């Protein structure tokens, strides 16, 4: 399988996104490091999605975005060229299913923690403040991008309820408004451009970042086997 990648970078720090495996990504101190990680990441993504991984995976960069953002902390504003295109109903339905599965799996992972306020992780500062450390902090951070992401394409959707409930409300609002297959580009906050396909990709990507961090924190804090490997991050 050829994995078409979008490379966003700031000097040497790199984020690599698989544009045809939506949500799969790698980070590295260099492009070479990020490329090296991609086959393993794509394999993990297919396992999480309940699909058979490809027998071979080759990463190929098809778009580049030079950024002045803090890439090493996963700050990102790239809009894929592909995300400016309209979706087919089949593509939308598949992405919607994955985005809701991702929210459901994140909620299951969070609910499995025996103590949601305990963590062995040290405090760490990033561009947006102190990194979430506990299960509760990671869950609230991940859940509460809901209003922000939907808002960037003109939808008023709150963060109330569980991550699955508030994300489901977003889809209902989107579909009620209509034209939900559109690749129309919106000028959002902080000079960033958005589209419906980008919002769906960002949900999957953001969940994946923090589910991975949540799972690894759980192993470090409570030990192997203490939390379920619902995102197949146990490597």
Q: How confident is the model at residue 233 (pLDDT cuts 50, 70, 90)?
A: low
- Of the listed ranges 2-16, 118-132, 175-189, the one predicted with least confidence: 118-132
Q: How confident is the model at residue 228 (pLDDT cuts 50, 70, 90)?
A: confident
pLDDT tens column, 18-45: 999 999 999 999 999 999 999 999 999 9
Domains detected in the chain: 2-78 (3.30.160), 82-222 (1.20.120)
- Of the listed ranges 47-61, 95-109, 115-129, 193-207, the one predicted with least confidence: 115-129
Stretch 151-160: mean pLDDT, rounded?
98
pLDDT tens column, 68-106: 888 888 889 999 999 999 999 999 999 999 999 999 999
- Give the predicted TM-score (pTM) of the model: 0.94
Stretch 136-160: mean pLDDT, rounded?
97
SS (H, E, C) the chain: CEEEEEEEEECCEEEEEECCCCCCEEEECCHHHHHHHHHHHHHHHHHHHCCCCCCCCEEEEEEEEECCCCHHHCCCCCCCHHHHCCCCHHHHHHHHHHHHHHHHHHHHHHHCCCCCCCCCCCCCEECCEECCCCHHHHHHHHHCCHHHHHHCCCCCCCCCCCHHHHHHHHHHHHHHHCCCCCCCCEECHHHCEECHHHHHHHHHHHHHHHHHHHHHHHHHHHCCCCCCCCCCCCC
Q: How confident is the model at residue 232 (pLDDT cuts 50, 70, 90)?
A: low
């Amino acid at each position: 399988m050829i994995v078409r990648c979008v490379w966003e970078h700031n000097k040497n720090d790199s984020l690599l996104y698989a544009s045809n495996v939506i949500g799969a990504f790698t980070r590295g101190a260099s492009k070479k490091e990020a490329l090296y990680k991609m086959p393993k990441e794509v394999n993990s993504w297919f396992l999480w999605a309940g699909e058979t991984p490809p027998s071979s995976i080759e990463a190929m960069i098809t778009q580049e975005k030079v950024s002045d953002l803090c890439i090493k902390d996963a700050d990102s504003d790239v809009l894929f060229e592909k995300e400016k295109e309209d979706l087919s109903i089949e593509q939308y339905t598949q992405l919607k299913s994955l985005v809701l599965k991702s929210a459901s799996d994140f909620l299951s992972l969070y609910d499995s923690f025996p103590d949601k306020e305990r963590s062995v992780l040290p405090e760490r500062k990033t561009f947006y403040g102190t990194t979430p450390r506990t299960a509760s902090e990671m869950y609230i951070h991940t859940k509460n991008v809901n209003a922000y992401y939907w808002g960037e394409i003109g939808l008023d959707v709150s963060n109330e309820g569980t991550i699955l409930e508030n994300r489901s409300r977003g889809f209902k609002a989107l579909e009620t408004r209509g034209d939900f297959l559109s690749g129309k580009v919106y000028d959002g906050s902080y000079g960033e451009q958005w589209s419906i396909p980008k919002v769906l990709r960002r949900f999957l990507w953001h969940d994946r970042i923090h589910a991975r961090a949540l799972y690894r924190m759980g192993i470090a804090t409570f030990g192997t086997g203490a939390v379920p490997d619902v995102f197949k991050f146990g490597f």
